[in-house]
Amino acid sequence: MEEEKQKEKRDYTESEKKTLAKIIEDLFIRFSSALRTAQIYEPNNLTFIRQVNLLFNLVQTILKNEGKAHFQFRANTLFFNTVRVKFDFLSYHNFKFLADIFKDKEIGTLGFEPGLSQTELTEFVTLFVDGEAAEENPYENFEAKVKEKGIKHIFLEKVHPSETVGGKEEEEFMQSAIKVFFKSITHLKEVVEREKQKKRVQLKTTRRLMQSIVNLISQNESFMVGLTNIKNYDEYTLNHSTNVCVLAVCFGRRLGFEKRELVDLGVSAFFHDIGKLAISKEILDKPGKLTDDEFKIMKTHPWHGAQKLATLKELSILPVSAINVAMEHHIWSNLEGAGYPKYWKKNYTDLFSRITKICDFFDAVTTQRPYRKKTATREEAVSWLLEKTGIEFDSLLLKVFANMIGVYPIGSLVVLDTAEWGIVTEVNPDMAYMTRPKVKIIADSIGNKIDGKIFDLTEKDPATDKFKKSIVKTLDPYEYDINVADYFITQGVQ
């Protein structure tokens, strides 16, 4: 136990962290590929043998360097050899795939141990994906089968009972929310590809996805906003467009829009940057400042976007507002100043455009980009927006948005007066309690990273009638290398 603690506290250097992350990712890919192959092929199939072989070799290398290779799920979080896994979303699907099997079989820990033979590994991989988990005592059943096969070098431990509690409905909601979120990113990628190849784009699917997003937001807005902490999962524009879309729908809901309008707003925000597809990656991802000529090209993306949308074959099911939003989302609300395109003849911009503009700015400045010197925290982004109220952004809308995001936006990293650290998971809807959101505790008062409970800061001590905990300051998650999105994603995975 002491030794475990020691390891947990071990400080990894930056390069060690990178190496470890790479090892975990490779192991994830190898393990899930072997499992997926085992689902399709018989154990004597060549493809299957090759996959197990690759996994076996990798496990051997890890065992040599690390001594063991243990995966452990603890309270919605995955650990690898006691180190919390900060998976980089590229491996999300593999992560989910493994997590589901762990959950079905009620496994808490699975470890590869020195002495493991290739035959044992082959047997285990086959068993692991073999059929449905038993309805009663799935863990005990599985463990018995492993023993029966004489597999001795794979460590198994049942999930701790306290880790399995939690509302089933809530968990299902989170899982479907995450699924829809990632599906939207993938769908936009497909739309882009099909548009390039001049094929029909599936706007019906877009609408269906937007309907799901609208439904999910009406069930749990906080969780959906939390998911917009996911950044750079795929190409920047794809992830960013999905975030802007989620934020815009939340915004529209607060403005009292009806469901159909919300779907239209979602579609419009989703496609706001579609014109960027016409801009080269060298310009889009240029680390430094753009030259005048490059900026001129960049500024053409609203035109390209509007044009692309207007010439879609499926135009009849595209809301007209989508074309407006693509065209107008960089125009300042006072119709003056540095916005673009310059030669705009209308004397107003569409309401959807003004909404998208705010969400666009908020998501953009809170995302790390090669050309941006400083990534804003979520609360900094709100104050940057407010500095431009009535000039670049519509002042009335901005009030609603600031209220929606809150003083401590969802995803903020905060320090409490108990010296604990937390991540804001839910904004308090009562204006009087704006400074008292719900926070998930992620570090205890002496700085140990923990997977703590979600605490409601409005909770008072009945004896003294004083608040039990309060926020004293916020921190920049980038500075402390904390990936806020992890906390939202892992909620729905176990």
HEC-encoded secondary structure of 263-323: HHHHHHHHCCCHHHHHCCHHHHCCCCCCCHHHHHHHCCHHHHHHHHHHCCCCHHHCCHHHH
Least Å from the CB of residue 364 to Fe ion: 6
Q: How far apart are CA 242 and CA 89, in angstroms?
A: 15
Torsion angle of the four alpha carbons 242, 248, 253, 255, in this order, in degrees rounded to the nearest 10: 180
Tell me the sheet residues that pair with 72: 79, 109
Question: In terms of CB distance, is 123 or 273 closer to Fe ion?
Answer: 273
Residue span binding Fe ion (CB under 5 A) among the ranges 31-39, 79-87, 270-278, 470-478: 270-278
- Residue 159 tokens read as 């999930």
Least Å from the CB of residue 88 to Fe ion: 23
Least Å from the CB of residue 298 to Fe ion: 9
Question: In terms of CB distance, is 309 or 443 closer to Fe ion?
Answer: 309
Least Å from the CB of residue 273 to Fe ion: 4
Q: How far apart are CA 169 and CA 383, in angstroms?
A: 36
Q: How far apart are CA 438 and CA 421, in angstroms?
A: 12
Least Å from the CB of residue 442 to Fe ion: 30
Residue 138 CB contacts under 8 Å (≥ 6 apart), including other chains: 104, 105, 106
Question: In terms of CB distance, is 360 or 486 closer to Fe ion?
Answer: 360
* 76, 493 contact by CB (below 8 A): yes
Question: In terms of CB distance, is 106 or 273 closer to Fe ion?
Answer: 273
SS3 content of the chain, % helix, strand, coil (to 5): 55, 10, 35
Rg (alpha carbons) of the chain, rounded to whole number: 25
Least Å from the CB of residue 363 to Fe ion: 7
Least Å from the CB of residue 241 to Fe ion: 7
Query: Burial of 56 by CB count in 10 Å (0-12 exposed, 13-18 middle, 19+ buried)?
Result: buried
* 271, 309 contact by CB (below 8 A): yes
Question: In terms of CB distance, is 157 or 234 closer to Fe ion?
Answer: 234
Binding mask 217-256 for Fe ion (x = CB under 5 A): ----------------------------------------
Residue span binding Fe ion (CB under 5 A) among the ranges 41-49, 265-273, 281-289, 365-373: 265-273
HSE toward the beta carbon, residue 245, CA cutoff 13 A: 34
The total number of residues written for the chain in this structure: 494
* 469, 413 contact by CB (below 8 A): no
Least Å from the CB of residue 272 to Fe ion: 6
Q: How far apart are CA 189 and CA 87, in angstroms?
A: 22
Residue 223 CB contacts under 8 Å (≥ 6 apart), including other chains: 173, 174, 177, 216, 488, 491
Question: In terms of CB distance, is 264 or 273 closer to Fe ion?
Answer: 273
Q: How far apart are CA 281 and CA 287, in angstroms?
A: 11
Question: In terms of CB distance, is 20 or 249 closer to Fe ion?
Answer: 249
Binding mask 271-300 for Fe ion (x = CB under 5 A): --x---------------------------
Least Å from the CB of residue 427 to Fe ion: 24
Number of residues forming the site for Fe ion (CB under 5 A): 2
- Scanning residues 350 to 379, which ones bind Fe ion (CB under 5 A)? 360
Cβ neighbour number for residue 336 with a 10 Å cutoff = 10
Question: In terms of CB distance, is 21 or 358 closer to Fe ion?
Answer: 358
> Does 328 help bind Fe ion (rule: CB under 5 A)?
no
Least Å from the CB of residue 356 to Fe ion: 8
Question: In terms of CB distance, is 210 or 279 closer to Fe ion?
Answer: 279
Least Å from the CB of residue 262 to Fe ion: 19
User: Residue type for 368, please?
Assistant: Q
Question: In terms of CB distance, is 257 or 271 closer to Fe ion?
Answer: 271
Question: In terms of CB distance, is 360 or 392 closer to Fe ion?
Answer: 360
Least Å from the CB of residue 323 to Fe ion: 14
Question: In terms of CB distance, is 207 or 369 closer to Fe ion?
Answer: 369
Binding mask 27-56 for Fe ion (x = CB under 5 A): ------------------------------
* 383, 396 contact by CB (below 8 A): no
- Scanning residues 87 to 126, which ones bind Fe ion (CB under 5 A)? none
Residue 446 CB contacts under 8 Å (≥ 6 apart), including other chains: 419
* 397, 354 contact by CB (below 8 A): yes
* 432, 439 contact by CB (below 8 A): no
Q: How far apart are CA 263 and CA 319, in angstroms?
A: 9
Binding mask 145-184 for Fe ion (x = CB under 5 A): ----------------------------------------
Which residues of the shown chain bind Fe ion in the complex (CB under 5 A)?
Answer: 273, 360
